Amino acid sequence: MKKLRMNLRANGIWYLFLLPALLTYLIFMAAPLIDSMRLSFFTGRGYTPTEFVGFKNYIDLFTVPLWRDRFLGALKNTIIFFSIHMFIQNSMGLFFATLLSSDFRGRNFYRTVIFAPATLSVLVTGFLWTLILHPYWGAINHTLKAVGLNSWAKPWLGDKHLALPVIALTSVWQWVGMPTVLFLAGLLGIPDELIEAARVDGASSWNVFWRIKFPLLKPVIGVVAILTFVDNFNAFDVIFAMEGAKGEPGYATDLLATFFYRTGIAGEQPAGIPNMGMGAVIATLIFLILMAGVLIWLYAARSDEEGI
Amino acid sequence: MKMNRTQKLLTHFILATWTLIVLFPVWTLIVDSFKPQKEIFSSPFGLPQHFTLAGYKSVWVNGNFGIYFLNTFYVTIISLALIVFFGSLASYALAKWNSKASTAFYIFFIAGLMIPVRLGTIDLIRIMQFLSLQDTIWSLIPVYVAMGMPISIFILTAFIDTLPKEMFDAAKVDGASEWRIYFQIVMPLLRPAIATVAIFNMMKIWNDFWFPLVFIRAEKSRTISLGVSLLFGQYRTDWTRALSTLSLAAVPILILYILLSREFIKGLTAGAVKG
């Protein structure tokens, strides 16, 4: 009895330590995320669920042409947006990190510069780039016309095919510092002896990179990939700043997050009445996509560890 | 690794080119905000010929930038204080309490690392309506604190695990309570990890646009990012003012970054560090 009471007392204090964090996290993060799934089975005006409709919202999203086209369009655009970051941003990051990992004067300066845009608000850089990319007065077209390349001066953000890749590239401009710094830390963590030994054996720089450094970077590559995935499947600010909540021109830059915002939170203009149930469906689907990605990553990371 | 001359030159060439690409928009932002509209269009890159502060003046006067700045400052400081306090309390418990329950709590917190709280926005709007907090800065703080818990607990628990166990045992033998150990021994030692946690969360909170956009309309409660988005919409055709708005938002952060770049880089990439 005495032992039990002591045990309770000893553990009770830990619950007190945990309480503030646990309550905030439960009420303002975990519960809303889980309850969103419940709301996806309801319809209602504004934000109040009134009628249980089962899977009707889900069925509508996939069968009613208006919903289906928007959803599939946003999904496709999000995949493109993510892929540009995954392949272009992360390859550039790896390349910069490789350059920065050798010893020369000024490398701290370059590292600081490459990372700098990541500290700015996405909204601010998005607005700044809309001005720079402005078809008539923007600095880019101004320069192109000044050097006689008039036909290269395009309406960057107004063209259906150009807008999404161009916006993704401005986002790469902002975020490339992240993979750079992470890969750099990974490269600097590789013991020098390993590389020296390979060189003594006559391996070229190219071989040293692909045969030794690259395989050892695998865990970092995994982390960078999953961060890129989660961040870009949620991207909203940059599209909102550069193309508005509707993903202009003609939904060509509409992402899952802007679709979610329009449907579930702001409401389609001009009426502006949010469709809570459908919004919750979109949130739930984004959630499931993210979970699937994270699980694949965890599984891959684990089987990799076992492989070694 | 040693490089030969050509390699060195090539490295500098590539990195310097990217440096120009990074600095060019920032440069145009700052110099153009001091030019009248006509000059921005005719020569966007040079130093201002007809120097003007008109943009800044009207943004400051019409835009209530002072209010936005203070609101963002309060929200960030209060949220950070609570994140550090709640997070370190919980981390101390999770690191020192060995049981199935504590492992379960740890996993529960860490699961939040990969899931954006944004997806629960519809419910959060309902909660804020219920608490009558919409349209006040107080609607933002609890969400930011909740959002900050996973990363803070991740970093701080890993850090406490590295502290020597004997220290805690010695304090216990001397009869110190867990509270005293936390406040007098753990808290002071946590300082470097707390700095990392603070910077990571500070940037997320300071730059957040989504929750102000969703929760707030009233002028008096706007944060910098919400204010900037509304002002920018209004000044879309007046570039001097638009650029002044953007540089008022960007320059303070850039200065802070230049002063503390090492801490910033460490803080912002903290989420990726394997514990």
Among candidates A99, A123, A178 on the partner chain, residue whose Cβ is nearest the Cβ of B15: A99
Span A203-218, pLDDT tens digits: 888 888 888 888 889 8
d(CA B27, CA B45): 8
* Within a domain: A53: no
pLDDT value of residue B109: 94
User: In chain A, which residue's Cα lies nearest the Cα of B260?
Assistant: A112
What is the DSSP secondary-structure string of B21-34? HHHHHHHHHHHHTT
* Within a domain: A42: no
Among candidates B122, B149, B213 on the partner chain, residue whose Cβ is nearest the Cβ of A25: B149
Q: Tell the residue number behind the tokens 């300071």, with chain if given.
A: B206
How far away is chain B from the Cα of A20, in angstroms, using its nearest Cα? 6
- Asked if residue A57 has pLDDT above 70, the reply is yes
A288 burial level (CB within 10 Å; 0-12, 13-18, 19+): exposed
- Measuring CA to CA, which residue among B201, B207, B246 is closest to residue B228? B246
Percent of chain A topping pLDDT 70: 95
pLDDT value of residue B107: 93
What distance separates the 2 farthest-apart alpha carbons in chain B? 76
3-state class of B111 per DSSP?
Answer: helix
Domains in chain A, number: 1
Pair A113, B22: CB distance under 8 Å: yes
Task: Name all domains of chain B by residue range, CATH numbers in brackets.
Answer: 24-63+239-258 (no CATH), 64-234 (1.10.3720.10)
pLDDT value of residue A74: 95
* C-alpha B146, offset from chain centre: 15
Question: What residue type is B189 in one-letter code?
Answer: L
* Within a domain: A29: no
Helix axes A122-132, A139-146, angle to 10 degrees: 30
Among candidates B29, B114, B250 on the partner chain, residue whose Cβ is nearest the Cβ of A290: B114
Q: A268 forms bridges with which residues in the sheet?
A: A273
Give the best residue of B7, B119, B172, B239 to mutate against chain A (max A CB count within 10 A).
Answer: B119
pLDDT value of residue A15: 87
Cβ contacts of A260 on chain B, cutoff 8 Å? 119
Cβ contacts of A22 on chain B, cutoff 8 Å? 90, 105
Pair B257, B264: CB distance under 8 Å: yes
Q: Do B203 and A119 touch (CB under 8 A)?
A: yes
Span A136-195, pLDDT tens digits: 888 888 888 888 888 888 888 888 999 999 999 999 999 999 999 999 988 988 888 888
* b/e B219-253 (16+ beta carbons within 10 angstroms → b): eebbbbbbbbbbbbeebeeebbbbbbbbbbbbeeb
* C-alpha A298, offset from chain centre: 18
d(CA A55, CA A40): 8
d(CA B79, CA A45): 33
* Within a domain: A50: no
Span A90-130, pLDDT tens digits: 999 999 999 998 888 888 899 999 999 999 999 989 999 99
Tokens of B140: 């933002």
* Within a domain: A68: yes
A135 preceded by a cis bond (ω within 30 of 0) = no
* Contacts with B, A 212-241, CB within 8 Å: 219, 223-224, 226-227, 230, 234, 236-237, 240-241
A148 burial level (CB within 10 Å; 0-12, 13-18, 19+): exposed
* Within a domain: A136: yes
Question: What residue type is A56 in one-letter code?
Answer: K
- Residues whose CB falls within 8 Å of the CB of residue A37, separated by 6 or more in sequence, listed in order: A280, A284, A287
Pair A189, A217: CB distance under 8 Å: no
- Asked if residue A53 has pLDDT above 50, the reply is yes
Pair B158, A34: CB distance under 8 Å: no
- Measuring CA to CA, which residue among A65, A218, A239, A174 is closest to residue B210? A239
Give the best residue of A88, A122, A127, A169 to mutate against chain B (max B CB count within 10 A).
Answer: A127
Across chain B, mean pLDDT equals 89
Pair A101, A185: CB distance under 8 Å: no
Pair A163, A243: CB distance under 8 Å: yes
Q: Average pLDDT in the A272-298 region?
A: 91
* Within a domain: A10: no
Tokens of B161: 């695990």
- Asked if residue A280 has pLDDT above 90, the reply is yes
Say if strands A51-52 and A42-43 run parallel, antiparallel, or are unpaired: antiparallel
d(CA A57, CA A278): 6
d(CA A42, CA A35): 11
Residue length of chain B: 275
Q: What angle do CA A137, A163, A225 make, to 5 degrees?
A: 125
- Asked if residue A6 has pLDDT above 70, the reply is no
- HSE at residue B14, side-chain half, CA atoms within 13 A, is 15
Question: What CATH code is carried by the domain that includes residue A295?
Answer: 1.10.3720.10
d(CA A258, CA B97): 43
d(CA B229, CA B226): 5
pLDDT value of residue B146: 96
d(CA B71, CA B59): 17
Q: Do A104 and B8 touch (CB under 8 A)?
A: yes
Pair B68, B222: CB distance under 8 Å: yes
Strands of A196-281 (E only): list them.
none
- Measuring CA to CA, which residue among A121, A153, A127 is closest to residue A140? A153
d(CA B219, CA B230): 10
Tokens of B49: 């010929």
Domain that holds residue A179: 63-307
Alpha carbon dihedral A183, A184, A188, A192, in 10-degree steps, equals 80
**275 residues of chain B, pLDDT tens digit each:** 567 788 889 999 999 999 999 999 999 999 989 988 888 888 888 888 888 888 888 888 877 888 999 999 999 999 999 999 999 999 999 998 888 888 999 999 999 988 899 999 999 999 999 999 989 999 999 999 999 999 999 999 999 988 888 888 888 888 888 888 888 888 899 988 998 899 889 989 999 999 999 999 888 999 999 988 988 888 878 888 888 889 988 888 899 999 988 888 888 877 665 43
How far away is chain B from the Cα of A153, in angstroms, using its nearest Cα? 15
A215 preceded by a cis bond (ω within 30 of 0) = no
Q: Tell the residue number behind the tokens 């807008």, with chain if given.
A: A163
Q: Do B257 and A33 touch (CB under 8 A)?
A: no
pLDDT value of residue B274: 44
Q: Which helix (H) or strand (E) holds A209?
A: none
Q: Average pLDDT in the A59-72 region?
A: 91
Tokens of A90: 């992360």
* Within a domain: A294: yes
Among candidates A25, A100, A115 on the partner chain, residue whose Cβ is nearest the Cβ of B112: A25
